[in-house]
Amino acid sequence: MRSFRYVLADVFTETPLQGNQLGVFTDARDLDDAAMQSLALELGFSESVFVLPPREGGHARIRIFTPTHELPFAGHPTLGTAFVLGAPLQLGTILLETGRGIVPVELERDASGRITFGLMTQPVPTVASFERVDELCEALGVRGSALPVEVYDNGVQHVYVALESESDVAGVTPDWTGLAASELVAALVGVNVFAGSDCRWKTRMFSPLDGVGEDAATGSAAGPLACHLARHGWVPWGERLEISQGVEIGRPSTLYATAFGTGETIERVEVGGSAVAVARGEFRIP
């Protein structure tokens, strides 16, 4: 039997048993693709990470799996892995190789040396319009969107529907069967509903095709949300947003996102937050 050690972390929170759960396998050199996918399904979290030696000048290469498939990039796995690896490496900035290139994560520490905050510079997303807005809104059970409904792709695709109030966001009850059975989200990982004002926003992310359902904290969606709001003039470019997510599923999370650019041009995207390790163990498999 082979042994593979892992760390369980809660990401985008400072409090254990909140935030988004993550499994990090710290040495995946002897795991093939099928074994990685099986272990991700065994854990059942929205994503699990498998750490490998670097190839492109980073400190480590990471592969990210949902319970059903691999992703080239995702936010909470990247941030959580930075916390897990950054502690023993004692780095100020850790460079993680992803399927969308190297993602740097700046790590802040307190006086004791404990990592308290991480800030990643995400891949700049592309933007496209979403054509089947009425059908999507019907599947979500909402009347429409206060902003144009657009798809952002930073390695993960997300579509955004703006609602009038945070209570409207909290009250969304998707038609899961309709979403999963239709072609509406066949190419999308995340359907996001959001509301808020100034620098404080509330969001929920539904992912009917990845075996999870609703996500507790979606770092890959937080950055594009900041882009979406800035591109349409709802917040200034360069304003740090505080984003609440996960309350409805008992995993409250706090994400921070900043988009830099001019007009409709996105130049840089930063997403940050905290994380905490909650367990360590090993899998023994053939």
CATH number of 2-122+273-285: 3.10.310.10
pLDDT at 181: 60
* H runs (alpha helix) in 22-122: 33-43, 75-89
* H runs (alpha helix) in 2-127: 33-43, 75-89
Alpha-carbon distance of 180 to 193, in angstroms, equals 17
Which residues are marked as active site?
47
Other Cβ atoms within 10 Å of 148 Cβ, number: 14
Q: Do domains 2-122+273-285 and 126-269 have the same CATH topology?
A: yes
94 has pLDDT over 90 = yes
> What are the residues facing 4 on neighbouring strands?
283
Residue extents of the structural domains in the chain: 2-122+273-285, 126-269
Over residues 18-34, the pLDDT tens digits come to 999 999 999 999 999 99
Reported confidence tier of residue 199, pLDDT bands at 50, 70, 90: very high
Question: What is the pLDDT averaged over residues 52-69?
Answer: 96
Over residues 137-182, the pLDDT tens digits come to 999 999 999 999 999 999 999 999 999 999 999 999 998 877 776 5
CATH number of 126-269: 3.10.310.10
Alpha-carbon distance of 276 to 83, in angstroms, equals 8
pLDDT at 21: 98
Question: What is the pLDDT averaged over residues 68-80?
Answer: 96
